[in-house]
Each structure stands twice: as C-alpha cells, then as structure tokens.
Amino acid sequence: DAMVIQNPRYQVTQFGKPVTLSCSQTLNHNVMYWYQQKSSQAPKLLFHYYDKDFNNEADTPDNFQSRRPNTSFCFLDIRSPGLGDAAMYLCATSEDRGTTEAFFGQGTRLTVV
C-alpha cells in the first residue's frame, strides 16, 4: 500500500496560472519535503516542514510556496508558473533523524503550456 501519495500524477497548467500539487502520508512522520527534479538531474530540495515549522532552502524562488495544514497533508503552490518550472515534483517524508529511512511519492509531472 502506498504510504506517500501524490496527486495528480500528471498536471498541465497554463503559463502564469496558479497551480497546487498535493501530497499525503499515512506514516505519521513529522518531516515532509518537496523536491523539484528536472530531466536528467538529481532531485533538488525546495523546502521542508518539521511539524508545522517551514524551512525554505536559500535558493528556492519566491514563486514556490507550501502549506501543511496537518501531519498528513502537504501542498506545493506555484503562484505563477513559468516554462522553466516544468518538472517532476517529488514529495517525501521522514522522521527527524538519519537513523531511519525516508519515503517518497511517485511524483507529479508538471507541464506548463
């Protein structure tokens, strides 16, 4: 059974039109991550939540925002998608220590037209 679920798997949005990607987990992990992965590149961490505390990476554009209304759900909001934001977006969860594994969703492939 999938433990980290991302919806939708594929999303097409228009240039400049706000879009929201969602992630849910059944693991009750206190940390949730969002990554951007472009073709043939490694996943790039955008930000993560430790419980309700939001931690932004220094080079994440302001165009990307996130919400975590409760432990189970986390959302990625792209306020004004540009063509360069087309990518795979990955959600992951973990406990707040490196002694345990992290779990990833299958990703949402975002296309901007």
Q: How far is CA 70 from CA 18, 81, 89, in A?
A: 22, 26, 20
List residues bridging with 104 in a β-sheet: 92
Taking CB under 8 A as the criterion, the residue among 48, 68, 76, 87 binding other proteins is 48
The token duo for 15 is: 């240039």
Nearest Cα neighbor of 109 from 21, 15, 3, 41 is 21
106 touching other proteins, by CB under 8 A = yes
Taking CB under 8 A as the criterion, the residue among 27, 45, 60, 65 binding other proteins is 45
The token duo for 1 is: 């059974």
31 touching other proteins, by CB under 8 A = yes
Nearer Cβ to other proteins (13/108): 108
Taking CB under 8 A as the criterion, the residue among 43, 46, 76, 81 binding other proteins is 43
- Given a contact cutoff of 8 angstroms between Cβ atoms, the answer to whether 81 and 112 are in contact is yes
**Site residues, other proteins (CB under 8 A):** 4, 31, 33, 35, 42-45, 48, 55, 90, 92, 94-99, 101-107
